[in-house]
Structure 1
Amino acid sequence: MKETRQKSTGTVKSDKAQKSRIGAIAARRSLRTDRKYPLVMIKLLEVLKMMKTAVIYATKTKHSKKLAEAISLFLNTTAQDIAKNPALDDVDLLFIVGGIYGGASMPELLAYIKTLEAPMPKYAALVTSCASGSQRQIAVCNILEEKGVKVLDEFVCKGRILFVSATHPNAKDLKAAIDFAQKIVAVECYHKSAVPNCKEMR
């Protein structure tokens, strides 16, 4: 009986840990099985193999870490914490994941972005969590564009603050973040001239 209970408890814990992994794997598989746009999906997979992508995050509550890890699994890379000052060498597409605290991005994230030097990433996409589910990382976007990095788009989802939005980011949010990453890869490949700038994203 004790052994059975231990196995059951372990299963519950592992299920929670694997939610984002399963979602990312499912998203990658969907690229292979999409019958509506098979040629486009095959091209996206080819681009993912050739493109150098990176995912960085800044977090106080680990919400941004969850989102970053889900996206990095889909992109087959590793999410990196800006607290460790990761080096970004010859990156084609950079995903920046962060939260809104007191109406603004984390000062640590802004400071890190300001230190980026050539060779700069060619493109960036922002992933943001906030209690309202609507605030954007305008300061991050502006710094990137001042440095010549084209910001393709921004995904915003709810994030927990105290007892507000206590269940977020949830499995649905993680799936939406993965879908966003898939869309960004497509945008980077096929619609470079049609993406919004920071002012249009406000």
Structure 2
Amino acid sequence: MKVAIRYYSKTGNTKKLAEAIGYAINVEAKTVDEPLTEDVDILFLGSAVYAAGIDSKIKDFIANINVNVGEVVNFSSAALIESTYSQVKKQVEAKGLKMSEDEFHCRGAFKFVHRGHPNDEDLKNAQEFAKRIVN
């Protein structure tokens, strides 16, 4: 099974999740600045909320996918909303790709809100989630 991890992170919270997922399944986590160059069965796609929406870099990455992707699995962090799932799903499905119903989300620190997140427990949970998805 071919798996890829791509993410966008301004504050480092989503990067921490991406690296934890990568470590758990032995796949290098790369930023969305690196396009997919080969077909994948699973694409773990990490995002966060900035000004109530997903960043345009995530939208551009999805719009420019030009390889076969079996399924996109969302992971995210956010201080205020529950998840980026619905926003990412809209973009993924507009591209004609399949969005997994499974997702991982945890709180991310923003200023004084949810300070210290994602924490060690969040990262452990992200690793367990990734292992479950690929196995």
TM value normalised by structure 1: 0.62
Report what 2:64 is aligned to.
Answer: 115
Q: Which has the higher contact order (CA 8 A, sep 6+)?
A: 2
Report what 1:135 is aligned to.
Answer: 83
Q: Secondary structure at the match of 1:184?
A: helix
Alpha-carbon RMSD across the aligned residues, in angstroms, is 1.5
Q: Check the 8 A contact 1:133/1:156 in 2, yes or no.
A: no
Report what 2:113 is aligned to.
Answer: 164
**CA positional deviation for 1:75:** 1.4
**CA positional deviation for 1:106:** 1.1
Q: Check the 8 A contact 1:82/1:109 in 2, yes or no.
A: yes
Report what 1:63 is aligned to.
Answer: 13
Report what 1:149 is aligned to.
Answer: 97
Q: Check the 8 A contact 1:80/1:86 in 2, yes or no.
A: no
Q: Check the 8 A contact 1:124/1:150 in 2, yes or no.
A: yes
Report what 1:80 is aligned to.
Answer: 30
Report what 1:47 is aligned to.
Answer: none
How does 1:1-202 map onto structure 2 within 5 Å?
51-83=1-33, 85-117=34-66, 119-132=67-80, 134-152=82-100, 153-186=102-135
Q: Check the 8 A contact 1:105/1:137 in 2, yes or no.
A: no
Hey, which of these two has a bigger chunk of helix by percent? 1
Once residues 159 and 76 of structure 1 are traced to their aligned partners in structure 2, the CA distance between those partners, rounded to angstroms, is 24
* Equivalent position amino acid for 1:132 in 2: L
Gaps spanning 5+ residues in structure 2: where? none
**CA positional deviation for 1:166:** 1.0
Higher deviation after alignment, 177-186 or 119-128: 177-186
Identity over the aligned pairs, expressed in percent? 36
TM value normalised by structure 2: 0.91
Larger radius of gyration: 1
Hey, which of these two has a bigger chunk of strand by percent? 2
Q: Check the 8 A contact 1:110/1:139 in 2, yes or no.
A: no
Q: Secondary structure at the match of 2:114?
A: coil
Once residues 38 and 90 of structure 2 are traced to their aligned partners in structure 1, the CA distance between those partners, rounded to angstroms, is 21
